[in-house]
Homo-oligomer: A and B are copies of this chain.
Amino acid sequence: MFTGARTANTFSPTPVSDEELAEIWELAKWPPTAANTQPLRVLYVRPGPGRDRLVQHMSDGNKAKTASAPAVAVLALDSEFHEHIPALLPFRLELKDAYAADETMRTESAKFNANLQAGYFLLAVRAHGLAAGPMGGFDKAGVDREFFPDGRFRSILVVNIGHPGENPWFDWLPRLDAADVIQWA
């Protein structure tokens, strides 16, 4: 999962079923988040009118890839994730009020934990045997107006999902030397 898959740039026409997409989430939901807050939300977009609505908000360099993806996930954070705390962390109800009272802390926490969960999501796509093509190049405000008009959810990443097509892989880009990343104490 870590070393056997790369970001896919072309997909085969093989469809991705709603069941497969639901199963990806059943994997991705388990790894941990701070205070079990789980702020990530997933909008699955299938071929057809939904995908057309999404493609118009993608950067020019990403439009064709997204228009040919068998499925697309728009990953978003829930800016009001604390509403779920009574169900998710019932023995720490005071956290709901703490998040409600401090929008800056709430937003920072939503970003941090949704981004962690986005990492889990990308690896869950691969664990399910599918290829993931994550893209930061899109008009976030446009996507949010299009799909999340009440302002509660905010898009963070768009991920094309499918079975690898012909010549789907770029060569590996280099990774930093361990000496540039790791320190010891």
Residues in A lying within 8 Å of B, measured CB to CB: 1-3, 6-7, 18, 21-22, 25-32, 34, 36, 38, 40-46, 50, 53-54, 84, 87-89, 111-112, 115-120, 122-124, 127, 134, 136, 147, 156, 173-176, 178, 180-185
- Distance, CA A44 to CA B182, complexed state (A): 7
With a cutoff of 8 Å between Cβ atoms, the chain B residues found around residue A181 in the complex are: 25, 29, 38, 40-42
Residue of B nearest to A134 (CB): B32
**Contact status of A176 and B29, CB under 8 A, knowing A40-B181, A185-B44:** yes
Asked whether B175 lies within 8 Å of A43 as measured between CB atoms, the reply is no
Asked whether B27 lies within 8 Å of A3 as measured between CB atoms, the reply is yes
- Shortest C-beta distance, A74 to chain B (Å), equals 8
- Give which listed residue, B25, B120, B156, contacts A119 with CB less than 8 A: B120
Asked whether B180 lies within 8 Å of A84 as measured between CB atoms, the reply is yes
- Shortest C-beta distance, A170 to chain B (Å), equals 10
* Most B Cβ at <10 Å: residue of A89, A117, A175, A178: A175
- Distance, CA A175 to CA B89, complexed state (A): 10
With a cutoff of 8 Å between Cβ atoms, the chain B residues found around residue A147 in the complex are: 183, 185
